Amino acid sequence: MLIAHLPAGYIVSVLTYPLLRMPQVDGKTYLRCGMFGAVAPDLDMIYFYLVDGGRHPHHSYFSHFPLTWLLLALAAGVYYRCSANRRLPVLALVFAGNGLLHMVLDYLPAIFIGWRRSC
């Protein structure tokens, strides 16, 4: 699903960067963090193929738990509130936010496929 998640991370990052209005965060770095966050949950595929041998669905790993990404976003938000330098927390927030977007994009097909099967 790299084909879907990477462009989604790009679109969200491009649309949210103008709302940021922080000169200490440049657009390229913001975009890179957002796009990396959008595909980061699928990095578990390395473990899936090299170690696990495909025995468990890769969506069963912690990197595909929405709670993981909610906690990362919450930690970034707390760090944003407590930090004088807001550059790193903003980048962490766009990373975690795009990780949450990945969860939404992964679970939407499951919801609609399950809904169609029950009809």
Tens of pLDDT, residue by residue over 9-59, are 999 999 999 998 888 899 999 999 999 999 999 888 777 777 777 677 666
CA 85 – CA 26 distance, rounded (Å): 14
CA 82 – CA 93 distance, rounded (Å): 14
pLDDT of residue 119: 44
pTM: 0.85
Query: b/e for 61-76, b at 16 or more Cβ within 10 A?
Result: bebbeeebbeebbeeb
Closest to 88 in 3D by CA, of 24, 13, 42, 10 = 24
Tens of pLDDT, residue by residue over 55-110, are 776 666 778 889 999 999 999 999 999 999 999 999 999 999 999 999 888 887 77
